[in-house]
Structure 1
Amino acid sequence: MEIIYQLAAICRENPSIPFFFCIGAGYWLGSFKYKGVALGAVAATLIVAVIVGALMGVVISPNVKNIFFLLFIFTIGYSSGPAFFHSLRSSALPLLAFALLMAVLCLASAYVMAKLMGLNPGFGAGLLAGSATESLMIGVATDTIAKLGLGSALTARYVNDVPIAYAISYLFGTIGAIWITAYLGPILLGVKDIRAEARALESKLGETKMPPDTFIEYTDYLTRSYRVENPRYIGRSVGAAEAAEGGDKSFLITALRRQGEKISVTDETTLEKDDVVAVRSLRRILADTAAMPGPEVVDNELSSLVMERVSVVVTKREWFGKTVEELAVEPQMHGVIISKITRGVQEIPVYNSTVIHRGDVVTIGGVMKAVELAIPTIGYPERTSTATDMVTVALGIAAGTIVGALTLKVGRIPLSLTTGGGALLAGLLISWFRSTRPVFGNMPAATSWLFQSLGLCGFIAVVGLSCGPDFVSGLRQNGWGIMWGGIVVTVVPIVSCILAGRWFFKMNPVILLGACTGARLCTAALGALQEACGSPTPVLGYTVPYALNNIIFAVWGVVIVLLMA
């Protein structure tokens, strides 16, 4: 026992030890799955931190909590920016209305249940945050409670009550969302075979299913080597020859050998008699031998192509709102294919009917020369880089926090974005500006994941350690009520939206269920739904509601506290 007391004393003197222990243990515990469902790093960190806090009484400065939360919420805004602003356009109106319906029902049901059970603002906010599985609301709600002017003792109590209610209601919030969307949802929609619905949607979108371990090898583009003997080419520049033979960029001279030596090719390079050139073009063009530079020759080295794959941020208006199929026939896309589309943090399936949005990151591939010609017509290339623009990140968080700290009093009610809301707004705006001029604010995917995941888990660890001593008493007083309230707040909005999507919005069942997981901000439910469908298509309904409600539920963290106060 003496060793345990000594360890506890060391932890109290060095709070960084239990802080990092809770994060590490949370990630480890959250990785375990039962029937495909994992608790997740955030909920697991909170549970571990509550237990450690109750046992050791560790005190950590609230400034640590605020720093981690600001880093997390800024990155949420940064990741959601282009998708959020796209969701406000008329083309996304049905999904926008659907997301708003889900958000309003979640807020209304949480408020009604909290009032019926006589919960205080802290428990009410935690009930909504846990049922909606939206950890972001914890920080926004606690910031708002701190500004109510309730006195230090009552403020501390309400602040500690938020994560208690969150922890109690979170478990069913996740499991319930998974079960309803992936398993009950198809029944409510009258769908007997959700996999068949997904296959039908894929077919409609232009996806062709191939048997396992097979692929289509045929391509319209071929590369041939020719000796320059045709007078039409001799003395002409490469650029002029390409324009004359394939004005739509369907004819490219990709390599050149002169007097046995391979030389670099530019548009200004002049072709000479007996040069050997590699031509990349369509089969039908190459079939016209009279139009070629000369007789075909065998030159394996010259015909071996350097292929390139590049991720490009879509910033050119010509791409906005167009489908993959429409873009495939554009002159600048000759010999180039779209292999991947990323919207926010979600990968979007590449079908013929997939619509490209501003700020999407499309991965294109093909012959290096064709890819380089295509890039400036799409947007800005994101070359492989591990560097993060910390100047923009740090100054953006600072500026957003200043704006969020400003308070306007209407009567006795303090109205404020809160520091978290200000940082969220800064992330949204910086991400939006980057989608138009992506020369600043670079944040690789790995950095984004680290800031979001570690930022949130660090914040949650401090919250759990702080509320640990009060957790048992709060659980005894309101535990069962919050649990049943969480079930109601989870079930009612999702079931109502599924029925509304069927009868009012008349959405495709797969898209509808995907929209439910996005509007409820439950990525775990999206994964379970995709597994049930045997298809990635639900993500097509997920992205717009997710981007919009990420912001709306942050606002709800303020609203629920003000309604309950």
Structure 2
Amino acid sequence: MIEAFKTSPVLLLFVVSAIGYWVGNIPIRGARLGVAAVLFVGLAFGALDPGLAMPDIVIVLGLSMFVYTIGLSSGPSFFATFRAQGMRNFLFIVAMLVLSSAITVGIHFLFGLDAATSAGLLAGSSTNTASLAALIDLIQLSQPLELQEKLTNAAVVGYSLSYPMGVLGVMLAIGLLRRWLKIDYQTEAEQLNNIYPLNDHLVRQTVAVTHAEVVGLPLRTIFQQFHQRIVFGRMRRDGQDELPNMDTQLQLGDRIVLVGSAQVVAEVAQLLGESYGEELSYDRTIFDIRRMFVSNPKIAGEKIASLNLAEQFSTIITRIQRGDVDLLANGETVLELGDRVLVIARRTDFGKLARLFGNSYEALNHINLLSFGSGMALGLLLGMVTFTLPGGLSFSLGFAGGPLIVALLLGALRRTGPIVWTLPYGANLVLRQLGLIMLLAGIGIRSGHTFLNTMLAGGGWLFLAGAIIATTTAFVTLWLGYRWLRIPYGLLSGMVATQPAILEYALGQADNKLPTIGYTLILPIMLIMKILFVQILFALLV
């Protein structure tokens, strides 16, 4: 079987992926490794034979696809949050790297390590391949020719032994601190729902206007008073059903449908009057309700207000299903490919609306290779650019940083003229998972035999050193970030999860998208800072 794996790396890739997926679903004290288990299964397979290897293109393609798809989906929230909390995030990154560097320096002098091994330990414990590449480049540029091979090998050994615990140690810290701090991820998500649209758990209620103080009040005023967290559906006035707009003024006796979270709907209902026994949404005599897919690229990336639905079709959208999440819809909501919009309209207009939105599930299964390929190419090109700093230090964004930064920019833009940069939700998720599996399996198989040999040769103390660096840094930064900086734990777990396997574990723990938001908030800067810190550490210790 080993010979078959040597002959066919693709076979090896899918065997490791399948076993890793199975192992990842085994509960261990209530927690699961998830897709991250593919990395550890890859290490086990790689240890079987030095001839087992994965082509570099598998790892590069997997890493690039993973970060690119995450960047596309996180672009808008990244820039909105970075403008508000950019300095806090930067200081958090610096503090985390200063701490891990200080621990590495202590281990360096305690065990009498050489500079290359110590810098490799820092690169591996922070699970940053780009920083190892930058370290090797610095060794070749600054050290005598006769020492270059020895120092390079030492750096690689330090990196290889500390990398596994750089993953497992952070997972351990996230899981244990979650229990010790008694983190309630659901409550966190509800508290942050105004900032990050995670899930509104929407309800609807028909209310009768009975309070005189709201008579003559336009709906726009109530909409703004409740911070755009309420949507108004159909309204019945004098026995006639109609669709209101923001300029509609309330009158006594009006019956109006409210859509929003249970708390907001209850507050608005109390303001307007009282609950009405009959649910207007069940009356389909004049207006009907239908879900439609957004598959028309011409309207993807456009705000709902720009479609002029009320004027053209006497239609309103009350909510949007994006993935498994229901979101409130308003004029400023930007439509994305794959959205399912809930429209209220006359039956005679449904055909026209279907043509406007596209409403084709099949079309959503096609990826626009022009936008996807162009975006990936731009990201890879940016990653190849080398930036030189004073003092001889240099860095490049690599196959992770380049695609991620380009994807964040394109995701925030959403479209440029006729080109829609974002991907349908389902397509994005499939590409992301495929990229992650390729990356984790490739890294695990490549590192497995080196890891085993070094451990058998008495390198267990280097493994322990990597565990100390990674685990201590994760515990301290998680604790201080949560207790001192008051960063929500869901976001925080993503901020320390600077490796895709850790992110997948954090997502499984949180059961919401907050870790992904935290991951994208700091990863671009974190990649650059890690490269610089590893080079600076080597320069100081050599």
TM-score range, shorter chain: 0.5 to 0.7
Asked if residue 397 in structure 1 is aligned to residue 373 in structure 2, the reply is no
CA distance in 1, matches of 2:154, 2:346: 64
Q: Please, which moves more after superposition, 48-57 or 434-443?
A: 434-443
- The Cα shift of 1:489 comes to 0.7
Structure 2 alignment gaps of length 5 or more = 109-116, 141-147, 210-231, 255-282, 498-502
* Identity of matched residues, %: 20
CA distance in 1, matches of 2:189, 2:378: 45
Q: 1:32 aligns with which of 9, 26, 29?
A: 26
2:125 aligns to what?
127
Asked if residue 172 in structure 1 is aligned to residue 169 in structure 2, the reply is yes
Q: 2:39 aligns with which of 38, 43, 46?
A: 46
Q: Deviations over 1:132-171 (max 9, x none)?
A: xxxxx34x33443453354566546634643532212322
**8 Å contact from structure 2 (residues 375, 406) kept in 1:** yes
Q: 1:147 aligns with which of 117, 120, 137?
A: 137
Q: Deviations over 1:460-518 (max 9, x none)?
A: 3222222222102155241222222222111111111122235xxxxxxxx73333234
1:195-234 to 2 correspondences below 5 Å: 218=206
CA distance in 2, matches of 1:549, 1:121: 22
Asked if residue 485 in structure 1 is aligned to residue 469 in structure 2, the reply is yes
**8 Å contact from structure 1 (residues 143, 418) kept in 2:** no
Asked if residue 501 in structure 1 is aligned to residue 482 in structure 2, the reply is no
2:492 aligns to what?
516
Q: Deviations over 1:333-385 (max 9, x none)?
A: 9853225467xxxx777589x99787889754132469989x99xx9989641
**8 Å contact from structure 2 (residues 380, 399) kept in 1:** yes
Q: 1:555 aligns with which of 503, 524, 528?
A: 528
Give the residue type in structure 2 aligned to 1:112: A
CA distance in 2, matches of 1:408, 1:202: 39
2:407 aligns to what?
427
Give the residue type in structure 2 aligned to 1:120: S
User: SS at 2:366's partner residue?
Assistant: coil
Asked if residue 20 in structure 1 is aligned to residue 20 in structure 2, the reply is no
1:399-548 to 2 correspondences below 5 Å: 399-410=378-389, 411-434=391-414, 439-472=419-452, 473-474=454-455, 475-502=459-486, 512-521=488-497, 522=503, 524-525=505-506, 528=509, 545-548=518-521
CA distance in 2, matches of 1:399, 1:200: 37
CA distance in 2, matches of 1:371, 1:458: 49
2:279 aligns to what?
none
Give the residue type in structure 1 aligned to 2:126: L
Give the residue type in structure 2 aligned to 1:110: S
CA distance in 2, matches of 1:514, 1:529: 6
User: SS at 2:463's partner residue?
Assistant: helix
**8 Å contact from structure 1 (residues 54, 470) kept in 2:** yes
Give the residue type in structure 2 aligned to 1:47: F
CA distance in 2, matches of 1:430, 1:392: 10
CA distance in 1, matches of 2:380, 2:426: 24
**8 Å contact from structure 1 (residues 401, 419) kept in 2:** yes
Q: For the structure 1 residues 313 and 38, does the alpha-carbon distance in structure 2 shift closer, same or farther, using more than 3 Å as the test? A: farther
CA distance in 1, matches of 2:70, 2:450: 30
1:107 aligns to what?
97
Highest CA radius of gyration, 1 or 2?
1
CA distance in 2, matches of 1:116, 1:372: 71
Q: For the structure 1 residues 160 and 382, does the alpha-carbon distance in structure 2 shift closer, same or farther, using more than 3 Å as the test? A: farther
CA distance in 1, matches of 2:285, 2:409: 48
Give the CA RMSD over aligned residues: 4.9
- The Cα shift of 1:21 comes to 1.7
**8 Å contact from structure 2 (residues 506, 515) kept in 1:** no
CA distance in 1, matches of 2:378, 2:422: 18
TM-score (norm 1): 0.63
1:8 aligns to what?
2
1:237 aligns to what?
none
Q: 2:63 aligns with which of 60, 65, 69?
A: 69
2:107 aligns to what?
117
**8 Å contact from structure 1 (residues 314, 435) kept in 2:** yes
Q: For the structure 1 residues 383 and 425, does the alpha-carbon distance in structure 2 shift closer, same or farther, using more than 3 Å as the test? A: farther
**8 Å contact from structure 2 (residues 34, 505) kept in 1:** no
TM-score (norm 2): 0.66
2:114 aligns to what?
none
Asked if residue 366 in structure 1 is aligned to residue 343 in structure 2, the reply is yes
Q: For the structure 1 residues 501 and 391, does the alpha-carbon distance in structure 2 shift closer, same or farther, using more than 3 Å as the test? A: same
- The Cα shift of 1:74 comes to 2.3
User: SS at 1:308's partner residue?
Assistant: strand
CA distance in 2, matches of 1:314, 1:82: 11
2:145 aligns to what?
none
**8 Å contact from structure 2 (residues 315, 345) kept in 1:** no
CA distance in 2, matches of 1:520, 1:367: 44
CA distance in 2, matches of 1:309, 1:564: 56
User: SS at 2:451's partner residue?
Assistant: helix
Give the residue type in structure 1 aligned to 2:155: Y
Give the residue type in structure 1 aligned to 2:206: Y
CA distance in 2, matches of 1:460, 1:142: 17
Q: For the structure 1 residues 529 and 401, does the alpha-carbon distance in structure 2 shift closer, same or farther, using more than 3 Å as the test? A: closer
Q: Deviations over 1:110-138 (max 9, x none)?
A: 21122221243332122123xxxxxxx34
CA distance in 1, matches of 2:57, 2:159: 18
Q: Please, which moves more after superposition, 104-113 or 357-366?
A: 357-366
Give the residue type in structure 1 aligned to 2:163: Y
Q: For the structure 1 residues 491 and 431, does the alpha-carbon distance in structure 2 shift closer, same or farther, using more than 3 Å as the test? A: same
Q: For the structure 1 residues 32 and 160, does the alpha-carbon distance in structure 2 shift closer, same or farther, using more than 3 Å as the test? A: farther
Q: For the structure 1 residues 9 and 439, does the alpha-carbon distance in structure 2 shift closer, same or farther, using more than 3 Å as the test? A: closer
**8 Å contact from structure 2 (residues 319, 342) kept in 1:** yes
**8 Å contact from structure 1 (residues 401, 422) kept in 2:** yes
Aligned residues: 440
**8 Å contact from structure 1 (residues 122, 159) kept in 2:** yes
